[in-house]
Every structure is written in structure tokens, then in C-alpha cells.
Amino acid sequence: MWCIVTFAWIGKGTPAPFDPPHRLVVRGPYRFVRNPMYIGGAVTLAGAALFYRSLFLLAYGCLFLLAACLFVLFYEEPTLRRTFGIDYDAYCRRVSRWLPHAPSS
């Protein structure tokens, strides 16, 4: 929910490609990592796979991560680069794509 509220409040849009944010969102959870929703989904699937001891859910989680990586690399990042230009490039230099870390000052 934090991600969705941040997109709506700061970005003036949604996470959906048909209604993207109008401003680059670099606050909230996006100050720690560039793709918190995909990470949250993958962690949720991994937790469910462990809880249910399900290889199917683990495989599904791996496919989800692969699909997310491909979507980010071939659609999302090029689109954000075209839309937000040097601001997005600077954001990419500061914040990791997949590994959360404390924001630098």
C-alpha cells in the first residue's frame, strides 16, 4: 500500500502502465530500492512456498522474478529514461534496482 499511495500522492498517477505517474517518484519506499513492489511480490511468493512447502510456488516465484526483470529491463527503465531523462539517470546512480539499502545523503 505504501508504494501505491506514494505513486498517487507524489507521482500523481498509479503503478499501472496505462496511468503512470506524471512526476518521478523517488521518495517513500523508492528511496531504498527502485522496484519495491516486485521485490515484495517475490518475497511473498517465497514465503508462501516455504510455508506450504511447495515447489510449484517456488517455481512460480522464480518465473515471477524472471518476468519482472525482463519487464523492468526492456520496458519500464527505457520508458522512464525517455520520460524523465537525466533525473531518472541520477536516480539510477543513487538507488539500486533490486537490493534495498539506506539512502545516501
What does the pLDDT look like over 88-102, one tens digit per residue? 999 999 999 999 988
In a domain, 77, yes or no: yes
Sign of dihedral through CA atoms 91, 95, 96, 100? negative
Say how many domains are in the chain. 1
In a domain, 58, yes or no: yes
In a domain, 103, yes or no: no
Task: Please tell me the predicted confidence (pLDDT) of residue 15.
Answer: 84
| Residue 91: alpha-carbon gap to chain centroid | 13
What does the pLDDT look like over 55-68, one tens digit per residue? 999 999 999 999 99
Task: Please tell me the predicted confidence (pLDDT) of residue 104.
Answer: 66
In a domain, 69, yes or no: yes
In a domain, 59, yes or no: yes
In a domain, 75, yes or no: yes
pTM score of the predicted model: 0.88
What does the pLDDT look like over 7-45, one tens digit per residue? 889 999 888 878 888 999 999 999 999 999 999 999 999
In a domain, 76, yes or no: yes
In a domain, 30, yes or no: no
| Domain limits for position 57 | 53-97
Task: Please tell me the predicted confidence (pLDDT) of residue 69.
Answer: 98
The CA distance from 24 to 27, in Å, is 9
